[in-house]
Each structure stands twice: as structure tokens, then as C-alpha cells.
Chains A and B, each alone.
Chain A
Amino acid sequence: MVHGPRPQTTYPIRELHEGESPDLVYFSSVSENTRRFVDKLDRPAVRIPLRPRLEGMIRVACPFVLVVPTYGGGEQAGAVPKQVIAFLNDPANRALLRGVITAGNTNFGEHYCLAGPIIARKCRVPELYRFELLGTQRDIDTVNTGLSRFWDQVNNERTTA
């Protein structure tokens, strides 16, 4: 008996055009923890839909850094929220991913922020930062400064390449 690849979940696509495609993409569950962190960064950002079947999955147009929570504790499968998997399964989105920032809880031990290394390995991008739960003011400041420097570096490499 031949087992084919697992059928891919497909969703209606909502394309973002260049002007409306920010360099920060995030996912937050109904707990809104990660959204709160991203709000505090005070940068343009777009949210991966909670219900892509109804809202449509987004397709971005510009390079971006991804902020994701880890669904904590237990096995590796399930650490990355399924909406994020669906978003990254789209080659157009994956090609524009430049780095990943992850939220987690040290109580989950070796699985702390596990979504970060999984995405980094899978998509071959650097894991930029980890923070706990809603993040502290220090996390906000580090990420804000870090993102500005990061994009400067990326843009410099592009112009000198």
C-alpha cells in the first residue's frame, strides 16, 4: 500500500500589496498575549489570522520578521501554532521570512520557546530573540533596538551585494 504525502490544508488567500505589507508579522491566540507584546513595540505589524478558513490566509509582499508564541509543554509536534504552519507552508511567505522571535515560558523546561528553533531550522533563518509570556519593558526595548539594527544590516547587505 502506498502512502502519499499528507494532503495540504489550503485556505483562501488574502494578498497584501507592497505598501501594506509590514516588516513584522505575528500570531497571537485568543489569549492575546503575543499581540500585547507586538502592540508595545509600536511598529506596523500584521497578524496571521486566527481563523484562516473564514478570514483567508495572508500572503505578504515584503521581507519580515515573525513573532510567535510556543504552544507549551509536551511534544515537539504542536509547538508551532497550526495557523503559523499554514502561513509558512506558502512558499511566497517563507521566501520573505528573515528571522523569528518567540514567546514562551521557562516552566516548559527543555521545550521553552520551542517554536523558535523549529521554525529557524525549518526555514533556515536566525532565531533572533526569546521572551516570556507578555514580555517585559526590557524585552520591548531590546527587540525594538534590535529590529532597527537588523533591518539596517539587511538593507546595507542588499545595497552592497
Chain B
Amino acid sequence: MTTTNPTRSLAETSVTPPAYRHDPAARLRPINWNRVGDEKDLEVWNRLTANFWLPEKVPLSNDIPAWGRLTEKERTLTMRVFTGLTMLDTVQATVGEICQIQDARTEHEEAVYTNIAFMQSVHARSYSSVFSTLTSTPEIDDAYRWAVNNDLLQQRCKKVLKHYYGNDPLKRKVSSTLLSSLLLYAGFYLPLHFSVHATLTNTADMIRLILRDKAVHGYYSGYKYQRGIENQASERQNEMHEFTYELLEDLYELELAYSGELYEPLGLMDDVAVFVRYNANKALMNLGYPARFSPGETEVNPEILAALAPSADENHDFFSGSGSSYVIGKGEDTSDADWDF
């Protein structure tokens, strides 16, 4: 019998396609963006599509002279760092985002992961654009051989892949959020460092576009994690809390070992470690957890912070300013249209 009961909603009497593998007999439902249960899904979808970009739009070839001025050591470091980033983005595009579709709480969440997965593929693709613009095929092949043979890079990936292919939906979310908000940042440090020294500035612009996307990706997985855990029993909440801090600790140790090999020869490792800790705290915040590292351990080099967000180092701390006089605001009339500056 397939007669429909008008008093029951479609959501109760049908499933979305990923549920087929649990119940092949169930009726399938097409996604309906005109009936959105979680407003974050639509908000994030709109944000992601508004932020869409492609590496072809970034004038990477303007970095050719700067690339030529880098030392041999710096060139090798850059290629390895970017190949490492490509590795993580490949993991995230082909497994990390896709594996969360099966756990989605809404049909729109399923769609958001397809969008994020594609964008992660764009990120992975973008490093190849840098390579083809600045370097030669033998050098590229060398960097890829290095990536496949680097045990620490392999471990970083497999540490999260284990949970992506595991059977705990919340552990998938934690792993994915930590990858998007923590693991990539040792790599992002390098182009920000170069841009401080007016080197490879177009590549740095491309990295800023990637950073903007990662913020939304980490926020979204973290948000859905919090929705998933809020109604769990307290033992389960404790288990996940413990799991998260343990995984963070493991990944942090791996980050230091992996980045140490790369950055120590250039004397940058202390700075990189601070940047990793700063982002580890942000990853935890995305998951709704308090910071792991103290303010003293996360004071990012102001130049790097300025390369990341130009206004972050300006003094927007009115509270700490001395003698700032208070100005009474003369409010002007505002309307909705006024806010589209």
C-alpha cells in the first residue's frame, strides 16, 4: 500500500537517499530548500556559495620573480608544506566531508557537505596551480614522493581517517573539525610568513581565501557536533569530551614533530608552534569546548596576525586604552537598506 496519509509529514514517511542502505524499501524524498528545519544549514550554504572562488582567479604568475629570489631551502620547504596541505585537503574532500553525510541531522546538512567536499577539492587543486606556475615537473614529483614517504604526514592523515571510517558519528565530527581548524595551520603559517616579508604575496592571497573557507567548514562541523551531543547522556558527553582532548593532544604532538622537521632548519619552529596552539584553541571553541592552551602560549607573532587579519593588531581594545574619552553617540536614523555599506 502506498496511499499517503495527509496528516503525517513527508519527513516522517520518507527518507533521504543515504538512508537507502539501511532500508531499501523506504520511500525516498527529494531535498526541499523551501522547508528548512535548521536555519544554520541555509545560512552556511549561502555563506559558502557567496565565498566561492577558483585558483584561476588569483594571479599566481606574479609570484614568479619572488619565487626566483627564494633560497633552495625555502623553495623545498614551500613545496613540501604545500604538498602536505594537498594531502590533508585530499583526505578531507574524498573522505572527511563525504563520511559526515550519513550522519546528517537534516537533508540540507547532507547538501552542505557536498558543497564543502567540492571546495576542499578546489583547495587541493589550488596548490597544484602554485606548483605548475612556479616550479618544474621533476621538482613536483620529488615533493609528492616526499609526501608518500613521510611517516609523520601519513600518521597525521591516518589518525583522522581511522575515525572517519569508524562507527561513531560524533568522533567523525570531532576529527573533521580538528582537521579543518587545527591540522592545516602549521602549513598556512609559511605563506603568511612570506607575505610579511613581501614574498609570494599572490600565493598568500590565495591562502587567505582558503582560510576564509576553512573557518566556515570548521564552524559548521563544530556546530553540528554540538547539536549532536547536547541531548546525550552525561556519560556519553564525558566520553566525547575526553576523546576530543586526547585526539587534540595526539594531533598536536604530531604537528610539532612534523613541523619541526620542516621549519627548524629555518629557525621558525617556535613561531609555528604558537600559531598551531592558537588554532588548536579555536578548533576546540568550534566544538564548544574551552581552550586547551593558555593566553601566554598562544600569543601569535603580531606580524603574522596582521598578515592574517589586518585589523586584528590595531587597537580595538578601548578598555585598555588610557584617557580615551567617551563620546556620546548622536544616533542617526537607520533602516534596513542603510546597512548595505
**Residue contact B330 to A110, C-beta cutoff 8 Å:** no
With A109-B211, A109-B310, A150-B319 given, is the CB distance from A77 to B331 under 8 Å?
no
Considering the complex, give the chain B residue whose CB is closest to the CB of A122.
B334
**Residue contact A127 to B316, C-beta cutoff 8 Å:** yes
**Residue contact B319 to A129, C-beta cutoff 8 Å:** yes
A15 to B40, CA, bound (A): 28
**Residue contact B319 to A31, C-beta cutoff 8 Å:** no
Question: A8, A71, A107, A132: which has the most chain B beta carbons within 10 Å?
Answer: A107
A127 to B324, CA, bound (A): 12
With A30-B39, A107-B211, A142-B320 given, is the CB distance from A5 to B335 under 8 Å?
yes
**Residue contact B216 to A122, C-beta cutoff 8 Å:** no
Q: Which residues 95-122 in A have Cβ within 8 Å of B in the complex?
A: 95, 97-99, 105-110, 112-113, 116-118, 122
- Binary contact readout B326-341 vs A (1 if CB under 8 angstroms, 0 otherwise): 1101111111111111
A99 to B281, CA, bound (A): 28
Contact-residue bracket for chain B:
35 or more
Tell me if B308 is interfacial: C-beta within 8 Å of chain A: yes
Nearest CB of A to B205, in Å: 10
Tell me if B309 is interfacial: C-beta within 8 Å of chain A: yes
Considering the complex, give the chain A residue whose CB is closest to the CB of B218.
A107
With A30-B40, A73-B212 given, is the CB distance from A122 to B319 under 8 Å?
no
**Residue contact A109 to B50, C-beta cutoff 8 Å:** no
A118 to B338, CA, bound (A): 11
Nearest CB of B to A84, in Å: 9
**Residue contact A124 to B327, C-beta cutoff 8 Å:** yes
- Binary contact readout B24-48 vs A (1 if CB under 8 angstroms, 0 otherwise): 0000000000000011100100010
Nearest CB of B to A125, in Å: 4
For the complex, count residues of A whose C-beta is within 8 A of B. Answer: 66
A147 to B320, CA, bound (A): 11
With A109-B212, A132-B282 given, is the CB distance from A124 to B330 under 8 Å?
yes
Contacting residue for B337 out of A5, A82, A132, A145, CB 8 A: A5
**Residue contact A31 to B211, C-beta cutoff 8 Å:** no
| Residues of chain A lying within 8 A (CB to CB) of residue B212 | 72-74, 107-109
**Residue contact A75 to B50, C-beta cutoff 8 Å:** yes
- Binary contact readout A127-159 vs B (1 if CB under 8 angstroms, 0 otherwise): 111101110111000110111011001100100
**Residue contact A134 to B317, C-beta cutoff 8 Å:** no
**Residue contact B215 to A108, C-beta cutoff 8 Å:** yes
With A6-B335, A75-B50, A109-B310 given, is the CB distance from A116 to B316 under 8 Å?
yes
**Residue contact A105 to B339, C-beta cutoff 8 Å:** no
| Residues of chain B lying within 8 A (CB to CB) of residue A46 | none
**Residue contact B40 to A29, C-beta cutoff 8 Å:** yes
Nearest CB of B to A72, in Å: 6
Tell me if A85 is interfacial: C-beta within 8 Å of chain B: yes
**Residue contact B331 to A95, C-beta cutoff 8 Å:** yes
With A94-B331, A98-B329, A157-B326 given, is the CB distance from A106 to B312 under 8 Å?
yes
Tell me if A56 is interfacial: C-beta within 8 Å of chain B: no
**Residue contact B47 to A71, C-beta cutoff 8 Å:** yes
With A71-B47, A112-B311, A112-B312 given, is the CB distance from A76 to B334 under 8 Å?
no
Task: List 7 additional contacts besides A36-B288, A89-B336, A136-B295; criterion CB under 8 Å.
Answer: A74-B212, A75-B50, A97-B329, A97-B331, A112-B309, A124-B330, A125-B329
Report B's interface with A, CB cutoff 8 A: 38-40, 43, 47, 50-51, 208, 211-212, 214-216, 219, 223, 226, 281-282, 285-286, 288, 290-291, 295, 305, 308-312, 316-320, 324, 326-327, 329-341
For this complex, 20 residue pairs linking A to B, each with C-beta atoms less than 8 Å apart, are: A29-B43, A33-B285, A72-B216, A73-B47, A73-B216, A75-B50, A78-B50, A98-B326, A107-B211, A108-B212, A109-B308, A123-B334, A124-B327, A126-B324, A129-B316, A142-B317, A143-B319, A145-B319, A146-B319, A150-B326
